[in-house]
Structure 1
Amino acid sequence: MDLHTGMQKMSILYQTGKGVSCLGCRGMCKAFEPHPWRKICKSCKCNQEDHNLHSDAEDDRKIGRLLADSNYSNLTARVKGGDGVRIYKRNRMIITNPNVTKKDPTFDTVTYEWAPPGLTQKLAIHYMELIPKEMQPIAGTEGAYYRRKQLMRQLPVYDQDPFQCHALSESEVKTMEEFVRKYKSESLGVGEVALPGQVGSAKEKANQKQKIEATGQFGNGKIAKGEPQHGPASTNGTPTKAQEKNEYRCELCKQPVSNENPVVYGERAGYDRLWHPACFLCSWCREPLVDLIYFWKSGKLLCGRHFCESEKYRCVACDELIFSEDYVESEGLTWHKKHFCCLECEQPLLGKSYELEQSKLSCTSCYKSTKKI
């Protein structure tokens, strides 16, 4: 079986939800029952991510599609026989430690389901130590589940693929395709991990060269307005004298950064900014940016979900972005008109009385009956 066929079969298994119990309601719901258009389970009303539906292959394919045709396509690989499909070259890390407490030599193996690419194992481990223990994506732990859930939450496939959306018109498909092309070109980024002042990519060197040329236009080496006062990193990858004095500061917490600890850079933000690993967060939801995938807008880091919501309305009912003018708004929330209906009985509610509680829309009858239970 080739990889492409295997991913298709795995996708069918997970879409049916066979054998995938819900973690949101603590296992009370034993299998995912898909709703025709809502992104929830019909049985327990929990979200898809609570059922942990996606497989590694699906996640890698989704991120591969996101990064393809962008500045980060080098993080993807073409699937053999996959009609041009690209998958995410996710960097896994396996740590093997000898167990010396036993008479016979044994080894303890720890597998990280994701690790920053391009680092030595020592530096990658150091990076992992700087993020909260419960968020470290070690296989078989809560951290691995958290990562997968964040992939679904922060980077929903229906925010990048119009054919994963529910019944878009031809004009809406074209509008969405242009929206996706634009954010890939102007906003999408993947963080780079390095020691302060030692970003190793060729992009960084080109960035520094452009800054040197720009400052030269002002004569006498004066710093252009808006340039960082501590100066850029030297182009040979070694810290400048100012940086050796530990003048780096995290963009989020503003605390000093040690030259011995790895930090995260974002190309879109410019290499004069850096973040502690635990501070590389979405400025909207304050959650860590999964696999360091970010969107840069107005000087802020955003996850994919909240970047899209800063540009487009999102339907509360189907969770998809709205690409038409045909929508309903109530109490700061939005719905496709066709989705403005009761969560329980699906009765259309346009022009009728309704109850809205914690983003859940109900007809008066269903609302009263649920309150009696």
Structure 2
Amino acid sequence: RKICKACKCSQEDHSLSSDVEDDRKIGRLLSDSKYAMHTARVKGGDGIRIYKRNRMIITNPIVSRKDPTFDTITYEWAPPGLTQKLAMQYMELIPKEMQPVAGTDGAYYRRRQLMRQLPLYDQDPSQCRGLAEGEVKLMEDFVKKYKAEALGVAEVALPGQGGSGKEEGKPQDKTVAAGKPPESTNGTLEPAPTAEHYRCETCKQAVPGDCPVVYADRAGYSRQWHPACFVCCRCSEPLVDLIYFWKSGAAWCGRHYCESLRPRCAGCDEIIFSEDYQQAEGRAWHKKHFACLECETLLTGKPFALDNAGLLCPTCSKSKRP
């Protein structure tokens, strides 16, 4: 189970992964995809790729003191390819409690979301305990397919400039020639909205021409989102590091995209690739994980109690009652 044995809290409440582990996980996710430019090969790592996470350090002089000193703010992640001015504008359009400033609740929130939205066991069969021998290939094909067809890394630009600064290291903070329509992922030209007609795809409100917006290339560049509105269509959580999965005309987080295609085990939290699994009250379990949360007794074909806390046998259910 991916929970604390003592208090039954989730992994993200107790054992967050390290920055290095997160960067390796995202590097693995983006490798073998068209977003591999966001990764770098690890020297001597036998082909392993690591996430080229873009950090941003802001240094402001403190002029009130006699000796010149500086106040330094480090953002643990910032959208790449922007001038510092535009990147700061983007950050200011995100709720303060979600801004990934090092040492703050916002940085902690980002790391929790990396674990929640993009669990390692949704992309790496070797991290799964629920896979039967014949299901490893099924999962490998599943991952390969979503990397090719759904996975995306959104970009930040001014309205009308999405997709225009693809070259790495080329900051986007410029004016695009008037009347140049944006290009979609299949190479066809899409009608360009006029400045007064840019609207956020989520809230449908107008987007000011001087404020950064989010573009998702799989959605086409005629759509844009306010930074705070680029969220998973299922859980409404902001998409961490702008990593999304595109399906049915909407952006999903990795967790809920996978769940939209395959059931997820309520016991081990892994995707179920077997066609023979247990279901009850809208939830699913690997058959070997359909067990009491407290005493681990298998409950297939036996009475059980099910609530938000989990699956319990009648004995443990009675003992937990006040």
- Bin the TM-score by the shorter chain: over 0.9
Whether 1:288 aligns to 2:233 is: no
Query: 1:133: which partner in 2?
Result: 96
Query: 2:254: which partner in 1?
Result: 304
Q: Paired residue for 1:146, among 77, 96, 109?
A: 109
Letter of the 2:48 partner, please give it.
V
Gapped regions of structure 1 (runs ≥ 5): 1-37, 213-226, 233-241
The secondary structure found in structure 2 opposite 1:82 is coil
Report the TM-score when normalising by structure 1: 0.80
CA contact (8 A) 1:263 1:274 kept: yes
Tell me how far apart the structure 2 counterparts of residues 254 and 335 of structure 1 sit (CA, whole Å).
39
- C-alpha displacement of 1:325: 1.2
Tell me how far apart the structure 2 counterparts of residues 153 and 281 of structure 1 sit (CA, whole Å).
14
* Greater Rg by CA: 1
- Alpha-carbon distance change, 253 to 156 in structure 1, aligned in 2, over 3 angstroms: same
Tell me how far apart the structure 1 counterparts of residues 50 and 44 of structure 2 sit (CA, whole Å).
13
Q: Paired residue for 1:176, among 139, 157, 161?
A: 139
The secondary structure found in structure 2 opposite 1:285 is coil
Query: 1:322: which partner in 2?
Result: 272
Query: 2:194: which partner in 1?
Result: 243
- Alpha-carbon distance change, 44 to 116 in structure 1, aligned in 2, over 3 angstroms: same
- C-alpha displacement of 1:146: 0.2
Query: 1:353: which partner in 2?
Result: 303
Tell me how far apart the structure 1 counterparts of residues 130 and 282 of structure 2 sit (CA, whole Å).
24
Query: 2:291: which partner in 1?
Result: 341
- C-alpha displacement of 1:149: 0.1
Q: Paired residue for 2:25, among 53, 62, 65?
A: 62
CA contact (8 A) 1:113 1:144 kept: yes
Query: 1:28: which partner in 2?
Result: none
Query: 1:33: which partner in 2?
Result: none
Whether 1:113 aligns to 2:88 is: no
Query: 1:75: which partner in 2?
Result: 38
CA contact (8 A) 1:327 1:335 kept: yes
- C-alpha displacement of 1:142: 0.3
- Alpha-carbon distance change, 324 to 308 in structure 1, aligned in 2, over 3 angstroms: same
Deviations along 1:109-155, one digit per CA (max 9) or x if unpaired, are 00000000000000000000001000000000000000000000000
Tell me which protein shows more helix as a share of its residues.
Answer: 1
Moved over 4 A (4+): 202-206
Deviations along 1:94-117, one digit per CA (max 9) or x if unpaired, are 000001111111110000000000
Tell me how far apart the structure 2 counterparts of residues 209 and 166 of structure 1 sit (CA, whole Å).
39
CA-based RMSD of the aligned residues comes to 1.6
Query: 1:367: which partner in 2?
Result: 317
Deviations along 1:182-206, one digit per CA (max 9) or x if unpaired, are 0000000011100001122459965
Equivalent residue pairs, number = 308
Tell me how far apart the structure 2 counterparts of residues 94 and 74 of structure 1 sit (CA, whole Å).
22
Deviations along 1:194-221, one digit per CA (max 9) or x if unpaired, are 0001122459965389334xxxxxxxxx
The secondary structure found in structure 1 opposite 2:184 is helix
CA contact (8 A) 1:59 1:151 kept: yes
CA contact (8 A) 1:316 1:359 kept: no
Tell me how far apart the structure 1 counterparts of residues 94 and 40 of structure 2 sit (CA, whole Å).
28
Query: 2:220: which partner in 1?
Result: 270
The secondary structure found in structure 2 opposite 1:77 is strand
Query: 2:174: which partner in 1?
Result: none
Tell me how far apart the structure 1 counterparts of residues 184 and 254 of structure 2 sit (CA, whole Å).
25
- C-alpha displacement of 1:351: 1.2
The secondary structure found in structure 1 opposite 2:112 is helix
Letter of the 1:324 partner, please give it.
S
Tell me how far apart the structure 2 counterparts of residues 355 and 170 of structure 1 sit (CA, whole Å).
31
The secondary structure found in structure 2 opposite 1:50 is helix
Letter of the 2:154 partner, please give it.
G
Tell me how far apart the structure 2 counterparts of residues 265 and 291 of structure 1 sit (CA, whole Å).
13
Gapped regions of structure 2 (runs ≥ 5): 168-180
Tell me how far apart the structure 2 counterparts of residues 206 and 74 of structure 1 sit (CA, whole Å).
20
Deviations along 1:35-84, one digit per CA (max 9) or x if unpaired, are xxx00111121111101420000000000000000010000000001111
Letter of the 2:188 partner, please give it.
K
Query: 2:14: which partner in 1?
Result: 51
CA contact (8 A) 1:52 1:149 kept: no
